[in-house]
Structures are given as structure tokens and as C-alpha cells.
Structure 1
């Protein structure tokens, strides 16, 4: 049990801590609001998690984005006479030190639904409980979570259309109402600024990557009509900001409702849907939602995989998409479907290879949506495209980039007279994958 504060004179007066994770903003933050409404003053903390960072390339641009956001948050809090305590290490070890340093009554944070995060939070909760400290978490990064939208028998939906119908029926002002954190900023603990570890201290290089703006409103008007055309700048590019919580999901949805951007709203619901699926079926992180698909005999040709990664398949739309990803950390959503289908079905390479590559490269990577999207393309996921649906990259090019504006921007080699030779012929690849899938699913 936690020692009494009388035996620890070095400790500060009793406080509450708020732990920032995927919610990197002061405004409209559910967990932070609840912390600030509590009886004690609140000291915010952020942990650069070695368990996560040690698996990332040292040039990972997302770490730079997080770092810049953390510095900005720290500056905002310093102006309020408070501070953001920034730590680097293994969370469980850091919390053991924080318990010794501060007289903590309650730790507040927001839910995280990914398998590693659930395990981490369970371990931290034990550390805190053993020291007489409450651990309270709140819903913040989705509109509906876990079992808030389920069938009448309490089981989760595994098909999006009926899920979305109930999602829409249940939606009301309560779920998009802003948490008025600003009213309680006076509850932040008064303290002097502390030092922050530098990127180089954690083994990372500062990225020169340009990050998309958090301003998405202007894109909503044309989104439904133009979202499938990769040459158009018609998508919101808000994924990165939703991933790290620099934009409130409630504010995003409220704005879309006001603008009557119905198709964009459905994309937010898809995000909720995949978060819910990952929560109920955590095994889908690396196993097929439909177990029979784990029987597929993948070719997994490493040379062909490298060609796909480098955008050297001989298919213009696939190559342009991969080069856009490699250069910018982003890929247009329509193209994501085409390149994913190409890897799984034209090359018969395990969807997990592609999912892992996207996880490394995408600035807006979210496990739930990425796994869901890859399993959809493969046919192995819930509500997935049937296995015999094989995107024809040439037809997709003619339909969605007929003037090859997108292709010429990202894969200018297609302007030349001598074009790259396709790595595999479409009809041959389609026949091959249908036989392989049919055999596995028999």
C-alpha cells in the first residue's frame, strides 16, 4: 500500500495527474475535463514510450509530429503558469517513479483500444492500485465505442451498413457536445517549467516532412463528388490529427453535420466501426477475421514485394500510389484500395506484409482502420469484399485518373516513351488468385 504523505515530506501536496496519449490538445478533451473538474490541482504528463519508439525507424516523421505537438502543449501550459511533465522510458517504470515523487490521488487519461495499449493500461492500473491511487479513463477519440452500438442481443455488428444505421439513430447532441475545459484551466497545478528530452536524446532525427493542416472544413463541400479522384486535392487529410488527437472527433463531426457532409460523416462512422471491431476481436490485429483465410498458400515473393514497396510494378496507379506513400507519408484512399488488392491478389502476398509496410510509412496510421482496410481488400475481414473481386488497376486508372495527372505527378517515368513492364499480367494473376483462394476456402 501507498505510504502516508506524513512519511514522505519531500512530496508535493496531493494532486491529480492527467496522462496525455492520443489526445494531444487542451480543448474539448474528455479525460482532461474530468481531471480539471476534480478536487485537486492537475499536473499533465506525457510519456515517450520506449516500447513503441524502439520499434520505429529513427527517421519516423510521426515522432517529429508528436514532439512538435508536445512542445506546443508545453508552451501553452507554461503560459498558464503550469507545465507538461515529459518523460521518456518504459511507462510502468516511469509510473513507479512518479508514485514516489508525487502524492497522487487519481490519474486521469482517455481510452486507447489497441491491444498493446490495453495491456499497458492494465499493468499501470495495477501499479497505481497497489499505491492506493485511482486510475480513471474516458472515451475521447471516437463517437461510439466498445459496446455502445450493438445488436439487440448485445453482440457486436460485423457488417457496417446495419451498424451505421444504429449509429445514426443513436447520435444526438450529447455525443458531439464539447467538453468546456477552458473554464477550468485555473485548476492546472502551478509549477515552474521542466526540461524536455530532445529527439536526439531518444535516438530520432528531426523530420523535414510537411504535415497536413488541421483545417478540414473547406474540403467538406466537394468531398462526396471528388473524393475518389486522386489528382484532386479533395480529401480532408485529417487522419493524422484524429490519430494523435490534435483535432477533437466531436468537433469534426459537429462541423460535418453543420455542412451536411453526409459521406464524410459515414467515414467517421467507419473509423468507429473498425475501432469497435478491434476491441471485440483483438486477434484480427494479425489473424484473419474469417479464419479460413489463414489457410491461403501465399507466394510471398520477396523480390516482387520489394518492387511493390518501391512502386516498380509496371502498373501506373499502383506505382504512383506507392511513391506518394514513400515520399509524403500519405496515400489517397481510392489508391490504397487498389495497391492493397494488387499485393494480395495479383502478387499473392500476405496482407500482413502490406499492413506492416503501411504501419511504418503512413503518417495517419491507425491500427484498427489499417487492419480493417487490408482485410477488406484481401477478403478476409468482416464486411469484406468477396475474394473473387479483384481490382483491375488499368480500369481503375481509366476511371479515376483518366488524364494520368496523379500518375505523372508521383511516377513521372510513365511520361516516357519506354514504359515499365508490368510485373504480372492481370488475367493470369486473377486466375491464379481465384484458384488459390478457392482451394483455401474449400
Structure 2
């Protein structure tokens, strides 16, 4: 029985259950990937994601070629391209991983399900994490034992793949420029060298360097934008696009932990590994929210905050996105994000907090523009975090990040700010810390008074929190979407969802 392995966000050969199940089906396996105009044209998709997928696909193609196969790459609507594939290579089974994505991908999956039913194709969707299909956090807690990825070993990479797409079979190859003509959004765009490289080899190299040395500084080293690029795992982009599996990361984490158990005096190492492990669990917890509320990108998780009043000034949005707000730490982070596609979690939280509390921009307004800047964009994590930092989930401590305090705490020598806001290169850290209060001719004046406006937004939110409806809706939200009781085997972290992700 011939099968098609539909590659989504799983650009890898190692520990890929979709590929292994397709191979076990007994017939030939046709790897298939589709560039989808509807996905590409969506508001949360950018050149950052296009380049990540392009690189990941190139890496996967190379791995397949080494195993006697190739990959059928198409550009169009998935069901139309599956029809074309079915005419060329008859198949009875379709394998893909369970995807928790935006509304467009959700609707596309429903269309594929109907297509399979009409043609008698058996579609098997396989989980690649501990997210429970059709469930919520409460149901996931009850099924935590069966979903624990630590209990199973990664599937070894196949040495050979039996496929009709042998290296000798002519297959259309899409060039970067050719895709640009089919996907006008990226016509004329060039590769961006500052972005993190995304493919399976890079994923394993990143994992190796992390557990080899970098993880030692993880705990306490991921809050500062000066340190996080080196001390963070930098695996988020690889987990987002599936160039490495979560199970493989857990497996290597366990090997490192066992190695340290044989040695004494490795407290810093063990502390960092515990911190990293907790964040792996939190990752799926946040994605579970989107899995249970598929339209989370258009409605708030806690209904009590549905009518919170925002200004949504388009000029403020433009200034925020360009890193021209007059707040040095905010501007430095946004300019860095525009260039590199990465920012550590604490600074991401500050950016959202500043937008929602300081600029009175709705989380809905900033969702897509901000998603476009994250190369590691994972919809479930992104939506959970922006709603949380906007204070509209209602079950977490309300945190409003002060840009000046974040500067003093995490960039006291102004190394980061001076790099990304060169207008301030000649200023002292003390002057930069109080830039919003001073008149610095070479730097933009603050576009708002952040502290005054933040208080107004907090007053709105606290009024809702204290209301009967606010308490009722928060209780419902906590029951369905609250965090797990225990996510670390040794030490229980603060159970408020305000954690550093990777």
C-alpha cells in the first residue's frame, strides 16, 4: 500500500513518526511538500518564515537524496496538488503530523479531511508533542502519563527510503526566484543573512553545542538580550519548524543529566537543566490552549476582557514596529528583532507590555505584525503569550514591564542599546536610562508617557478582575487552561505562566 508523507512543520528524517509509519505501511513512500498561497499570504507570515521553510526544505531534500528518495514539491492549494500527485503516483494512505496552527491551516486541514474521505484515502495524523488533540489543559493533565515524551525513545533515522521519487526520476525543482513569481508577496526578495539557519543538521549542531557547554549559563543567562543569543538554547526555531523533535531534545537532556549524576559539584549545570526542562513542558502547555480554542487569534481566552478599550493608534503601531518610540530599550529590542528574527522571552514580554499598556494597542492589533518578526513563530505560544502579557487571560499576575528598569537590570552598560540605537552611542548609561525624561537632540522624543498610560490600562483591567463577571470567567479559564500542577521532577517553578521560553 503506497503512502504519501505530507511534510508540514516536520522538516526532518530523525525521529519522524510520520515517515516511519508510512514506511511500515509496506509500499512506496512519496514525500510531499506544498507551498500554500493562502498560508503565505496570511497576515502572520513573512519572509522570515519563508526563508526558514526554504532552508529546512533544502536540508530535508539533501537527507532524502542520501537515502535514495526525493520530495515532490508543489505550489498551490493542497487538495489540488494532492489530486495531481494521486494521478501520478497512486496511493492509499496519507501521513502527516497533527498541526496546531492558525485558522487558515485549521480550515485547510478540514478541506484535506474531506478530500481524503471523498477519494477513500486513509489520513493518519500523528502527534509530535504532548498536545492533546481536541482537549484542553485539564484533560491534558489527566493524560500526562501517556503523553510523556520521556517514556519513549526517538525513532532512528532510516538508512534507505523506498520511494517512486528516486534521484533519477525528473522532478520539478523550484528556484528561489521562481517561487517569488508564484508567491508575489516575496517577489524580488533576497535571502536575509542575519537570520538563524534552519535545517536538520543545524538543529543537531545547536543541540550539541547547547548541552556541550552553553547550557551551563542557561539559568540566569537568558534574561539579558546581551547574553541570550549565546546562553539560550536557540532551539526554538528548530522546534517551531520541526527540524528536530521534542522527543530528541528530551532524550539528549536525559543523557546530559545522567552524565552529570556521575560527577559531583555540578550544581550550576543541574540548575540550568532543570530550568530548561521546565520550559519544554511549558511549551506544549501554551500550544494546548490554541488546540482547545481554535479561534484564539480572533477572540480573547477570557471572555470578561472581550470589550477592553484600546486606542489602536496606527501611528503608534508604526513607531513601535520601527523601533522609534523614544524608549531606548524598546527601540533597541524592536530593531534587533527586525534584523535577526529573534529576541529573548523577557524582552518579548516587555515589547508586548509596552504596546498594550503604554501605547494602548490591542493584542489583536499587534498579533500579526509581531508574529511576522519571529522566525521561531509558533502560533500557540505566541497567542498565549501576547494575551498573557496584555493582561487579558485573567489568571496570572498582572505584570507591566518598565523599559527603564529592564535597561538597568539587563543592559546596565548600554552595550545592547548602543549597538541597536546608534543615535545614543555617545550617551552615558545614566542618560539612556532617563532618556524619556531628558531632551536628547539626536534621539526621538517619547511618543507617549508610558507610566501614566499604563496606569490607565491597569485600572481598566483591575476593574474587570474585581467584578463578578471577571471572577466567574477567570475561574472558568483557570479550570480549562490553567497550568499543570507539576512540571519538573525536582523543583516546582512559579506556577504563573510567566516563564522564559528557551
Fold shared, TM-score > 0.5 on shorter chain: yes
Partner SS for 1:107: strand
Tell me the TM-score normalized by structure 2. 0.77
Q: Is the 8 A contact 1:358 1:365 kept in 2?
A: no
**1:253 aligns to 2:228 (yes or no):** no
| Aligned counterparts of 1:168 and 1:127: Cα–Cα separation in 2 | 34
| Aligned counterparts of 2:144 and 2:232: Cα–Cα separation in 1 | 23
- Determine which of 48, 59, 63 is the counterpart of 1:61: 48
Tell me the TM-score normalized by structure 1. 0.86
Moved more, 106-115 or 50-59: 50-59
Which residue matches 1:425?
A: 449
Q: Is the 8 A contact 1:31 1:138 kept in 2?
A: yes
Which residue matches 1:271?
A: 283
| Aligned counterparts of 1:98 and 1:382: Cα–Cα separation in 2 | 48
- Determine which of 39, 42, 52 is the counterpart of 1:52: 39
Alpha-carbon shift at residue 435 of structure 1 (Å): 3.3
Structure 1's 303 and 350: CA in aligned 2 closer, same or farther, altered over 3 A? Answer: same
- Match runs of 1:121-160 below 5 Å: 121-140=109-128, 142-146=129-133, 151=138, 154=139
Deviations 1:285-310 (A, max 9, x none): 22111112121110111112211111
Which residue matches 1:207?
A: 191
| Aligned counterparts of 1:193 and 1:342: Cα–Cα separation in 2 | 53
Alpha-carbon shift at residue 81 of structure 1 (Å): 2.6
- Determine which of 384, 387, 399 is the counterpart of 1:372: 384
Q: Is the 8 A contact 2:46 2:372 kept in 1?
A: no
| Aligned counterparts of 1:119 and 1:109: Cα–Cα separation in 2 | 16
The number of equivalent residue pairs is 414
- Match runs of 1:39-438 below 5 Å: 39-55=26-42, 60-114=47-101, 115-140=103-128, 142-146=129-133, 151=138, 154=139, 171=148, 173-175=150-152, 177-182=153-158, 185-189=160-164, 191=166, 192-203=169-180, 204=186, 205-212=189-196, 213-214=202-203, 215-216=206-207, 217=210, 218-232=213-227, 233-260=230-257, 261-381=273-393, 383-386=395-398, 389-417=399-427, 418=440, 419-438=443-462
Structure 1's 36 and 309: CA in aligned 2 closer, same or farther, altered over 3 A? Answer: same
Partner SS for 2:284: helix
Alpha-carbon shift at residue 167 of structure 1 (Å): 5.1
Q: Is the 8 A contact 2:341 2:373 kept in 1?
A: yes
Alpha-carbon shift at residue 33 of structure 1 (Å): 0.9
| Aligned counterparts of 2:404 and 2:413: Cα–Cα separation in 1 | 13
Partner SS for 2:295: helix
Q: Is the 8 A contact 1:344 1:351 kept in 2?
A: yes
| Aligned counterparts of 1:401 and 1:252: Cα–Cα separation in 2 | 31
In the alignment, structure 1 segments of 5+ residues that lack a partner are 1-13, 158-162
Which residue matches 1:10?
A: none
Structure 1's 111 and 422: CA in aligned 2 closer, same or farther, altered over 3 A? Answer: same
Structure 1's 405 and 129: CA in aligned 2 closer, same or farther, altered over 3 A? Answer: same
Structure 1's 322 and 168: CA in aligned 2 closer, same or farther, altered over 3 A? Answer: farther
| Aligned counterparts of 1:268 and 1:286: Cα–Cα separation in 2 | 26
| Aligned counterparts of 1:255 and 1:104: Cα–Cα separation in 2 | 36
Alpha-carbon shift at residue 344 of structure 1 (Å): 0.3
